[in-house]
Amino acid sequence: MPANFPAPFASRFFVQLDGARLDGARPDGARQHYLDEGQGEPLVCVHGNPTWSFFFREVLRQFSAARRVIAPDHIGMGLSAKPQNYPYRLATHIDNLDRLLAAVAPDGKINLLLHDWGGAIGMGWATRHPDRVGKIILMNTAAFLSPKMPPLIALARTPLLGDLVIRGLNAFVRVANVTTTVKPLPAAVKAGYAAPYDNWQDRIAVARFVQDVPMNARHPSYAALKQIDENLSLLRGRPLLLQWGGRDWCFHEWFYQEWLRRFPDAERDYYPDAGHYLLEDAGEKVLARIAEFLN
């Protein structure tokens, strides 16, 4: 693991007991890693693929002195358990977030900071509990069906070849480390993103997340994503802030415009010279804007 992360934050673990029936290697359930720092109304940070709570390290450092920040790693990602026989599906990830928040933040409003596939997971939770949602910040993400898939994602989903390049060669993490930012990532930061995914077994969820993007009604996660899309209207009226990197080959301009179509009153900042890992390319500006929005 990165020498300076999660330190100085304390790793915490929540046992997702529902996974016990599916993960024969862990009869006590799948352990989910999360960080929980500070006091007050929570800001819950939900990552996507192939990142982990490491993506939100500056959010934790800058915000936890004045508010509570919770940053989980999805099962199979980061420092969480990586069961090999597990339903890595959108509905499962939402269920896991639901159980975790019911245990650690059962009352009051929750603010959300969502990135990448964390948008679908976080908005899945939010549409189940609209009365508990405070403010929402979205960064290069989606929570609705889309008509096209980026060519690199489509290639990574190719049967057999996808597992070989993602799990065997760690290509998804390696490519992400060089294509998701405009400014080159320092070697130590690249190592931080790659640290939890150093062998075939540990890359299981990276591959399954790619395979779980639903593109037609036959896909197992299509119905779940369609329901989230249809229920986004439940969140209209909640304060919503879009923070968007304009040089993102995955969550590109079409996704940004779709959010504005659904939430035309959203506050928004567009960073034309930032990529998908927005906090790496424009972190200082983005964090200042988020702080202003939350306060």
Q: What is the pLDDT of residue 198?
A: 95
Per-residue pLDDT tens over the stretch 207-227: 999 999 999 999 999 999 999
CA-CA distance, 234 to 252, in Å (whole number)?
25
Q: Mean pLDDT, to the nearest integer, of 228-253? A: 97
3 state SS of 115 = strand
Q: What is the H or E stretch that residue 179 is in?
A: helix 171-179
Min mean pLDDT across 139-143, 159-163, 250-254, 256-260 is at 159-163
Q: Mean pLDDT, to the nearest integer, of 224-233? A: 98
For 188, the token pair is 């130590």
pLDDT at 135 over 60: yes
Per-residue pLDDT tens over the stretch 173-212: 999 999 999 999 999 999 999 999 999 999 999 999 999 9
CA-CA distance, 178 to 171, in Å (whole number)?
11
Q: Which residues contact residue 292 at a Cβ distance below 8 angstroms, ignoring those fewer than 6 apart?
A: none
Q: What is the pLDDT of residue 159?
A: 83
Contact (CB, 8 A) for 64 and 12:
no
Q: Which residues contact residue 274 at a Cβ distance below 8 angstroms, ignoring those fewer than 6 apart?
A: 181, 182, 245, 246, 247, 281, 282
Average pLDDT, rounded, for the chain: 93
Closest by CA to 213, choosing from 257, 177, 255, is: 255
Q: What is the pLDDT of residue 162?
A: 84
Q: In the structure, what pLDDT confidence band is assigned to residue 158 with cuts at 50, 70 and 90?
A: confident
Q: What is the pLDDT of residue 22?
A: 41
Q: What is the pLDDT of residue 26?
A: 43
Query: How far are the Cα atoms of 29, 50, 117, 202, 226 from residue 157, in angstroms, in the given order?
Result: 28, 14, 16, 18, 21
Q: Token pair 């596939």 is at which residue?
A: 117
Q: In the structure, what pLDDT confidence band is assigned to residue 3 with cuts at 50, 70 and 90?
A: low
Q: What is the pLDDT of residue 17?
A: 76
pLDDT at 156 over 50: yes
Q: In the structure, what pLDDT confidence band is assigned to residue 272 with cuts at 50, 70 and 90?
A: very high
Per-residue pLDDT tens over the stretch 46-68: 999 999 999 999 999 999 999 99
Q: Mean pLDDT, to the nearest integer, of 106-135? A: 98
For 20, the token pair is 């016990």
Q: What is the pLDDT of residue 238?
A: 97
CA-CA distance, 184 to 179, in Å (whole number)?
9
Cβ-count burial 152-171 (b if 16+ within 10 Å, e if not): bbeebbeeeebbebbbeebb
Closest by CA to 76, choosing from 52, 97, 100, is: 52
For 9, the token pair is 């934050």
Peptide bond into 6 cis (omega under 30): yes
Domain positions in the chain:
11-294
3 state SS of 177 = helix
CATH T-level assignment (fold) for domain 11-294: Rossmann fold (3.40.50)
Q: In the structure, what pLDDT confidence band is assigned to residue 154 with cuts at 50, 70 and 90?
A: confident
This prediction has a pTM of: 0.95
Q: Which residues contact residue 169 at a Cβ distance below 8 angstroms, ignoring those fewer than 6 apart?
A: none
Per-residue pLDDT tens over the stretch 20-39: 444 444 434 699 999 999 99
DSSP readout, 189-236?
HHHHHHTT--STGGGHHHHHHHHT---STTSTTHHHHHHHHHHGGGGT
Provide the percentage of residues in the chain whose pLDDT is more than 90. Answer: 88
